[in-house]
Amino acid sequence: MNKLNDQQLMIQKATISILFTLLVVAGYSQQQELKLWYNKPAVKWTDALPIGNGRLGAMIFGGLEKDRIQFNEETLWTGEPRDYHRKGAHKYLPVLRQLVAEGKQDEAEKLAEEHFMGLKSNEGKRDEWIKDMAALKGLKGNPALPGFDDSKWKEILVPTYEGWETVGYEGLDGALWFRTTFELPGAWKGKNLVLDLNRIRDQDYTYVNGKLVGQKSGGDARRYTIPADVLTTGKNTIAVQVLNFFDKGGIAGYKDTSRHIGIYPAGDEKSKLSLVKNWKFFVQNDNPPPVARFQADYQPFGDVYLNFAGVANATNYKRELDLNNAVVRTSYTLDGVDYTREYFASQPNQVIVIHVKANKAGKVNFDALLNSPHKLSSTKKIDDQTLGLNVQVRNGALKGESQMQVVTTKGTARVEGDKIVVRDADEVTLYIAAGTSFKNYKSVTANPSAIVKRSLQTMKGKNYEQVKAAHTNEYQKYFNTFSINFGKSTKDNIPTDVRLQQFASSSDPDFVALYTQYGRYLLISSSRPGTRPANLQGIWNDLLTPPWGSKYTTNINAEMNYWPAELLNLSPLHEPFFKMVEELAEAGRQTAKEHYNTKGWVLHHNTDLWRGTAPINASNHGIWVTGGAWVSQHLWEHYLFTQDKEFLRNKAYPIMKQSALFFNDFLVKDPKTGWLISTPSNSPEHGGLVAGPTMDHQIIRSLFKAVAEASEILNTDKELRTTLAQKAQQLAPNQIGKHGQLQEWLQDVDDPNNKHRHVSHLWAVYPGNEINFDANEKMMKAARQSLLYRGDAATGWSLGWKINLWARFKDGDHAYKLIQMLLSPADRGGAGSYTNLFDAHPPFQIDGNFGGAAGVGELLVQSHTQYIDLLPALPSALKTGEVKGIRARGGFELNLTWSNGKLQHAELLSNAGNDAVLRYAGKTVTFKTEKGKTYKLNSSLEVL
């Protein structure tokens, strides 16, 4: 046989490579479907499965006898349009800067608290209300007295450690009375006793046998001395009036639940008599005056309850979320009949859909209720097939309306009172529409009834299958742009909650792929073009006082929500974020003027539906000025990925430029170094009010460079371009400190034992790109040292950030270790994931889901330098796999296949016609591309 020439060998190698790829892809087609599934109903909210269409969201519990569908509409918030700015605050700016420069941090923070923070909403007449409650307004008799008749009062287990809201009294604020009794032991007679109730939220008046023994407000522990002469032989009565104004209420006891509230002789706590038991309670008044708030809270809208009789003995139960078609399904068998319930949130028809069917005729029977946790809500009959729900947000301007309409195949369905009664049907479909009076962040003049009617009108003439098909087609145009596989799963027959329990200690690479696609699903479900952006909990919230208001925290969390958007081929879903940035830029101009007396616009560390941009909360972390610059980075990143010059010209550049103009005015020269610095500010969210935090300078430098580059691309603002380029050079540089770390502050004061959740000074590594191995390896190593000092343990979202950082450090195995930590059960205590794979801060914050998904993408493709790096940080645990549709800056889209940790095949689609510079395993290849053309490469990066 003749020897093969070089060209024949190359063709043979390429053929083998392509055949291998086809075999691998064929193998993937047999792997697990993209489903989260469970063999039991949800018990807690974080067990339930999410659906959403960007505007409407719902959590599906899948209960047998009682199925709860808790739903949200994205614009139902507390608050109203108002002025968030403190007029003339800029007059105090020079003094603040001087105090910070002199090291008088406490004085600076105190001054800022009094004169620089943004304005709160109006507070009600609290003193008058407290006086009325103390005078027992609304009561017959005096509950403090031993002889008071409390026989008709309800009972509640005391303490309620996380507030009475967690035991069935969500939304309850006001004045409540608690009563119990204890028998005085004979040995305690004649002794002073100590009543130990520990925490009470927010204020209490505590009585024993009708005598006031103590009163406090705030978080201090309640340990009240009971004089011996107040006590009687036998039964003694304890009565506590609790005044709760906002959020968690009640007698909260100790965080360590093994420590009991109780009563004991003074000096003899070991003899404590436990008072952990059922107490009688009564609501004296549930309408306390409004509490002044810096910003508003995202609200739940309502609940649908489906009540089924006689199904407790069902078998073959399963509930699942199918990511391929965005449908939740519950199924079970009862008396030889198979039942199925399907749930989805339709974007084309703007309704939440619930479909119930059986495989035998006439077997569908249930009652459907529609209600809301809001105190100011009511359910009413609209017509024989429709229930209506009206909602008014307490202490807010917004109103909402929802309607639930029933359609049956055979059988009967009618509205009876506050429920829909379904009997003997073959199939039943419920359509739930909702709307609010929110028009935009300046107006609440929308007509919720019209929104609801418009949504339901779109159902006319359509059956369930048509509605479902339209939903699936619309959803899949986003979801199907990307796929990821890490080899055939050996655990596709294991429920998701069990896989989560086992993941950290077993090999289950396909679970990482499932988690990545779940992150994409969550973004599609909570952020569609034309909606509001995903908030701190995406679009899902069941609490009237959610953690951190379920707002937009702009010193990391809001941005992290959109880290997967470009890389994981969901670019259109970035649009709601850009719309919010446009509104923030408008609102932030007034903040810049009033608080800093500058041009341009500024955003601090939080915002809400009403686009508050002023500093909030406390001055030691609320005065952080680079939120606007960070959100502007997303505009620039969108351009880098898409190469859309019209977007750059008409949307991105004007906003980026105005942000840069703020910093052009704001920066001052440090008298000690001559550098331009940002002051006063903060390194989120610790260290207090300082001058020159490293993160600020990294973000500002990145903004200046992006604006300069954009102006050159657009051939505009040459003078500004020159100014910004010069100032970028004059900004305080990144510095390496005495511990070999990247300094977090201007001074070298980092503590190597600091394990804070924020890694703010590593912004320039990720999501920025200033620090990288190609540009400055020494600085990159210092940044890595900082991350090593900070440690791996963190809150859920912080783990998501660290995964991306370790990917940029090209350490895939370390990143994978953090993926295992992120995918560990939160019920073990601490960060990780809940049963439904929601990210646990704890509590739930969705940013960890998005950060984790983006981190997986960064392991496979990076394009933040001049190169497109293929498999730059591939973990050994993900040694075989395939990704399709992953995107790179420069307008490129890639498909990659690898085996045993080695690249096998690559495809590059050029969407803009730019030159491609690819790098893999130390080899770099550069070639010209044509717009719209796909290029195939082998494992040696040779174009085939």
Q: What is the pLDDT of residues 717-729, one digit of tens each?
A: 999 999 999 999 9
Q: How far apart are CA 113 and CA 621, in angstroms?
A: 11
Residues 269-298: what's their mean pLDDT? 96
**Using one digit for the tens of pLDDT, what is the confidence trace for 78-109?**
999 999 999 999 999 999 999 999 999 999 99
Closest by Cα among 757, 759, 761 to 748: 761
pTM reported for the whole predicted model: 0.94
pLDDT of res. 404: 98
Mean pLDDT of the chain: 95
Q: Is the pLDDT of residue 45 over 70?
A: yes
pLDDT of res. 33: 81
Instruction: Answer for the pair 932, 49: CB distance below 8 angstroms, yes or no.
Output: no
pLDDT of res. 219: 82
Residues 544-551: what's their mean pLDDT? 96
pLDDT of res. 387: 98
- The residue ranking higher by pLDDT, 146 or 9, is 146
Instruction: Answer for the pair 484, 883: CB distance below 8 angstroms, yes or no.
Output: yes
**Using one digit for the tens of pLDDT, what is the confidence trace for 233-267?**
999 999 999 999 999 999 999 989 999 999 999 99
Q: Is the pLDDT of residue 10 over 80?
A: no
Q: How confident is the model at residue 872 (pLDDT cuts 50, 70, 90)?
A: very high
Instruction: Answer for the pair 364, 427: CB distance below 8 angstroms, yes or no.
Output: yes
Closest by Cα among 537, 620, 529, 514 to 578: 529
Distance, C-alpha 90 to centroid of its chain: 33
Q: How far apart are CA 827 and CA 822, in angstroms?
A: 13
Residue 193: enclosing H or E segment and its boundaries? strand 193-201
Q: Is 348 helix (H, G, I), strand (E, B) or coil?
A: coil
Q: How far apart are CA 697 and CA 675, in angstroms?
A: 11
pLDDT of res. 361: 97
Q: Angle at the Cα of 822 (from 818 to 823), degrees rounded to 5?
A: 115
From residue 276, give the alpha-carbon distance in Å to each of 156, 188, 273, 667: 11, 20, 9, 57
Q: How far apart are CA 836 and CA 184, in angstroms?
A: 49
**Using one digit for the tens of pLDDT, what is the confidence trace for 679-710?**
999 999 999 999 999 999 999 999 999 999 99
> How does DSSP assign 882-925, residue by residue?
EEEEEEETTTEEEEEEEETTEEEEEEEEESS-PPEEEEETTEEE
Amino acid at 401: E
Residues 607-629: what's their mean pLDDT? 97
From residue 305, give the alpha-carbon distance in Å to each of 370, 404, 418: 7, 11, 11
**Using one digit for the tens of pLDDT, what is the confidence trace for 489-501?**
778 889 999 999 9
From residue 227, give the alpha-carbon distance in Å to each of 181, 188, 189, 271: 17, 12, 11, 17
Q: How confident is the model at residue 2 (pLDDT cuts 50, 70, 90)?
A: very low
Question: Cis bond leading into 159, ω under 30°?
Answer: yes
Q: How confident is the model at residue 903 (pLDDT cuts 50, 70, 90)?
A: very high
pLDDT of res. 210: 96
Amino acid at 828: R
Q: How confident is the model at residue 189 (pLDDT cuts 50, 70, 90)?
A: very high
pLDDT of res. 488: 79
Q: How far apart are CA 831 and CA 844, in angstroms?
A: 9
Q: Is the pLDDT of residue 3 over 90?
A: no
In the chain, the percentage of residues whose pLDDT exceeds 90 is 93
Q: How far apart are CA 735 and CA 747, in angstroms?
A: 9
pLDDT of res. 20: 38
**Using one digit for the tens of pLDDT, what is the confidence trace for 631-666?**
999 999 999 999 999 999 999 999 999 999 999 999
> How does DSSP assign 836-876, residue by residue?
T--EESSSB-THHHHHHHHHHHHHHEE-SSSSEEESTT--G
Q: Is the pLDDT of residue 14 over 70?
A: no
Instruction: Answer for the pair 447, 437: CB distance below 8 angstroms, yes or no.
Output: yes
Residues 64-68: what's their mean pLDDT? 97
Q: How confident is the model at residue 25 (pLDDT cuts 50, 70, 90)?
A: very low
Q: Is the pLDDT of residue 1 over 50?
A: no
From residue 853, give the alpha-carbon distance in Å to each of 429, 639, 753, 800, 849: 34, 21, 29, 8, 6
